[in-house]
Chains A and B, each alone.
Chain A
């Protein structure tokens, strides 16, 4: 590991939101520009769901970023909203408290939390593909089709197991950055898929591990 990259840490048996945030920040921290932003940030940012009990705090302290469960009154900036739908078209904008007193922290945190991989949903697919090499949920070929413009992105080699995922750009970006769960997105119709059920199910497992940052757990 690059000693200059910020280290993102969390408790071992943390709730879902903590794991998702830590995994997402951990992946983002591997990119030099985001790493630079992270190293400059100081302070505590809370995220709290307005539709459920989920809450987490991200403590930025230079080289160490710690994600913990809950968002207490000691946070400097508090982001409140529907964490499930945040980022989807038409979603209500989150309420941000403390941004006036801590503008750099609020802006910087917003930037790193939104820091998807370069290249939009295609870049997200590439990032997942690289991350997942060796995982038994990875099909030999992954075809992703954007329903907004018909564009497609194919990774892997033909001739073996194959999975296709179709969806609008925002949904593909959410699924392939780990912001949305592929199983839920499929069951609720945000994306569609083509593939044998065994392959699809294993691929959902792979994306769940990606979402939770559990590489090597199987």
Chain B
């Protein structure tokens, strides 16, 4: 599997909360570990972002005495590591000792939904939009400050959107990041200055779902590493500052026999949207996963707060886009930047699939901006616990994603809530608390 001259292998995968976990192996050790993969302690998937073991529940996938799981490399993900010609990088999936995918493995969860779609004769093309903040400080300086009182690149003062005149300030970092993407075979399309000071958006090219998610986690890494080299820190926290928050929108189109489906089949598009909306409250727990994510969920902040869809409507959670020249697609606008791309995509595919399988009609589209709706109209869950309760009540997502994952996820969100409240998190805070900055800044 390795080219001549390779002396080191980097193998990694995301934990449920998003950080990449894995190992560096000598080429010889890597070759010996095939085809199964390399052992990691299974509590890597059952500790929180502060490294505490999550107590309160138990998944049958876990060994009773902190045993091993296996990180199996996906050969298709092998790339020469940027700037390290003797190192090859792989992404992988978590299995048990016998090679069976773990029910909580993010990549395997996505793979299962892709297989379900394929069984219905559909392919998916999709692309993530990544939003992030770049800081004036380096990551070492940010850590030393406890991630507080940091300065967004360009300062705190409000500014217009899409501004180009500060390009000299951010171009060196973004040039380095996009070069890393190209070295890893990742096709990027655009990047731009975003609404908040120091906020940027990176657009990746459409790809099949697994490739799109793989590219996204590697793009986050490329941005972090480029920032490190240029003396800056970046964060994918959903709401590190009081300004606009960061999302992770997903553009998606359905294909059959090599032809786009949404361009000509309104019924399928409607059912897809119907499924997304029918599962949206429960999906929110996965798409908007942290205590900090919910600080972004405010009206009139370019974030969906209602379970709605509309034609070219950026206020709705689902925006359908039908250019005259073709290329109809759905933009799912709910995902927060701190969500796990594999889980986001698996959950969205599961929702769309439910719509197709059950022929779920969508509600009427909204033509207005659905923010600040009067009391009594449907709204999305507004807290990590309310979203976890909604997921617990969603039989469609439990069936599609599996009880093993859904139960683990729900308990992990309740654990997150418990840690916030019992470790000094301020329930009245309007902006990110010290607890959130310490817990999420570097790791989501």
Pick the residue among A16, A54, A69, A205 that contacts B55 (CB under 8 A). A205
Once the chains bind, are A181 and B57 in contact (CB under 8 Å)? no
Of B61-69, B83-91, B118-126, B254-262, the one touching chain A = B61-69
Given A197-B64, A198-B62, A198-B64, also A53-B57 (CB < 8 A): no
Asked if B323 is at the interface (CB within 8 A of a chain A CB), the reply is no
Q: How many A residues have CB within 8 A of the partner chain?
A: 24
Which residues of chain B (44-68) have a CB below 8 Å from chain A? Answer: 52, 55-58, 62, 64-66
- How far is it, in angstroms, between the C-alpha of A202 and the C-alpha of B411 when the chains are bound? 11
Q: Say yes or no: B64 contacts A13, CB within 8 Å.
A: no
A172 at the interface (CB under 8 A from B): no
B312 within 8 A of partner (CB): no
Closest residue to B420 on the A side, CB-wise? Answer: A16
- Look across to chain A and name the residue whose beta carbon is closest to the beta carbon of B427: A15
Contacts A13-B383, A13-B386; is A204 near B55 (CB within 8 Å)?
Answer: yes
B64 touches A204 (CB 8 A): no
Question: How close is B295's CB to chain A, nearest CB, in angstroms?
Answer: 15
Given known contacts A53-B427, A53-B428, A69-B427, A201 and B421 CB-to-CB distance under 8 angstroms: no
Contact B426 A53 (CB under 8 A): yes
Report the Cα distance A210→B58, complex, angstroms.
18
Known interface pairs A205-B56, A208-B56, A208-B418; A53-B424 also in contact (CB < 8 Å): yes
Q: Known interface pairs A15-B427, A196-B64, A197-B65. Does A183 touch B421 (Cβ–Cβ under 8 Å)?
A: no
Q: Give the interface SS of chain B, mostly helix, strand, loop or mixed.
A: loop
C-alpha spacing A16/B418, complex, angstroms: 7
The answer, yes or no, to whether A1 is at the interface (CB within 8 Å) is no
Is A70 part of the binding interface, using a Cβ–Cβ cutoff of 8 Å?
yes
Does B340 belong to the interface (CB within 8 Å)?
Answer: no
B 379-414 contacts with A by CB, 8 A? 382-383, 385-386, 411
Residue A47 lies at the interface, judged by CB distance under 8 Å to chain B: no
Q: Which residues of B contact A208 (CB under 8 A)?
A: 56, 418
* B165 contacts A by Cβ under 8 Å: no
Q: Is the CB of B422 within 8 A of A16?
A: yes
B52 pairs with A54, CB closer than 8 A:
no
Chain A residue contacts of B382, Cβ below 8 A: 13
Mask, B420-443, CB within 8 Å of A = 1, is 011011111100000000000000
Are the CB atoms of B422 and A205 closer together than 8 Å? Answer: no
Please measure, in the bound complex, the distance between the C-alpha atom of A183 and the C-alpha atom of B418, giving whole angstroms: 11
A125 at the interface (CB under 8 A from B): no
List chain B residues, Cβ under 8 A from A15. 421, 427
A169-194 interface mask toward B, CB cutoff 8 Å, 1 = contact, 0 = none?
00000000000010110110000000
B422 close to A181 (CB less than 8 A) = yes
With the chains together, A33 CA to B424 CA distance in Å? 35
Q: Which residues of A contact B421 (CB under 8 A)?
A: 15-17, 54
Which one of B55, B66, B382, B421 has the highest number of Cβ atoms from chain A below 10 Å of its Cβ? B55
A184 in contact with B56 (CB, 8 Å) = no
Of A187, A200, A204, A205, the residue contacting B52 (CB under 8 A) is A187
Q: Scan residues 125-142 of chain B and give those whose CB is less than 8 A from a CB of chain A.
A: none
Report the minimum CB–CB distance from A189 to chain B (whole Å): 15
Which residues on the A side are within 8 Å of B425 (C-beta)?
53
Kindly supply a per-residue 1/0 record for chain A positions 5-24, scoring 1 wherever the CB is within 8 Å of any chain B CB and 0 otherwise: 00000000101110000000
Chain A residues with CB below 8 A from B66, complex form: 197
CA distance A70 to B382 in the complex (A): 19
Tell me whether A52 is interfacial, beta carbon within 8 Å.
yes
B residues less than 8 Å from A52 (CB atoms): 424, 426
Measured CA separation A112–B382 after assembly (Å): 33
- The smallest beta-carbon distance between A173 and chain B, in angstroms, is 19
Contact partner, A202, options B57, B65, B424, B427, Cβ 8 Å = B57
Chain B residues lying within 8 Å of A51, measured Cβ to Cβ, are 424
User: In the complex, what's the smallest C-beta–C-beta distance from B16 to chain A, in angstroms?
Assistant: 16
A184–B64 touching, CB < 8 Å? no
Q: For the complex, what is the distance from the CA of A202 to the CA of B54, rounded to whole Å?
A: 11
Interface pairs A-B: 4 shortest CB-CB = A16-B421, A205-B56, A53-B426, A198-B58
Can you list 5 contacts pairing A with B, beta carbon distance less than 8 Å? A15-B421, A54-B427, A183-B56, A202-B57, A205-B411
Beyond the given A183-B55, A198-B64, please list 20 additional residue pairs across the A-B interface where CB-CB is below 8 A: A16-B417, A16-B418, A16-B421, A16-B422, A17-B421, A53-B426, A53-B428, A53-B429, A54-B421, A187-B52, A196-B65, A197-B58, A197-B64, A197-B65, A197-B66, A202-B56, A204-B55, A204-B56, A205-B56, A208-B418
